[in-house]
């Protein structure tokens, strides 16, 4: 079953699904208030001068996921 699912992820529809999920998940993490990530990464806070918003480990993970997802979406189209 895992082989079938992993093979499907190599198709255009599978790649698009992964890219979309990464983008949505990244935006969700990026736009929600800072908190502990996975229960063990600290909820350290710093203010982003340009946005005037507090950020932490969660927002860093969200930014990375968003960038990866958007790049994958761009490459899939």
Q: What is the mean pLDDT of residues 38-67?
A: 75
Domain assignment of residue 18, yes or no: yes
Domains of the chain: total: 1
What's the pTM value of the predicted model, to 2 decimals?
0.75
Whether 53 maps to a domain, the answer reads: yes
Q: Are the C-beta atoms of 59 and 37 separated by less than 8 Å?
A: no
Instruction: Give, as one character, the DSSP assignment of residue 5.
Output: H
Q: Which domain holds residue 50?
A: 10-36+44-76
Structure tokens at 44: 């350290």
Q: State the pLDDT confidence band at 50, using cuts at 50, 70 and 90.
A: low
What value does the mean pLDDT of the chain take?
82
Evaluate whether residue 5 is within a structural domain.
Answer: no
Instruction: Supply the pLDDT for residue 58.
Output: 81
Q: What is the mean pLDDT of residues 35-39?
A: 68
Residue 7: per-residue pLDDT: 87
């Amino acid at each position: 079953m895992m082989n079938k699912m992993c093979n499907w992820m190599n198709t255009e529809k599978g790649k698009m699904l992964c890219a979309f999920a990464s983008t949505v998940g990244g935006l969700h993490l990026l736009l929600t208030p800072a908190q502990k990530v996975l229960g063990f990464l600290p909820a350290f806070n710093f203010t982003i001068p340009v946005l005037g918003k507090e950020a932490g480990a969660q927002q860093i993970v969200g930014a990375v996921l968003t960038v990866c997802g958007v790049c994958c979406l761009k490459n899939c189209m």
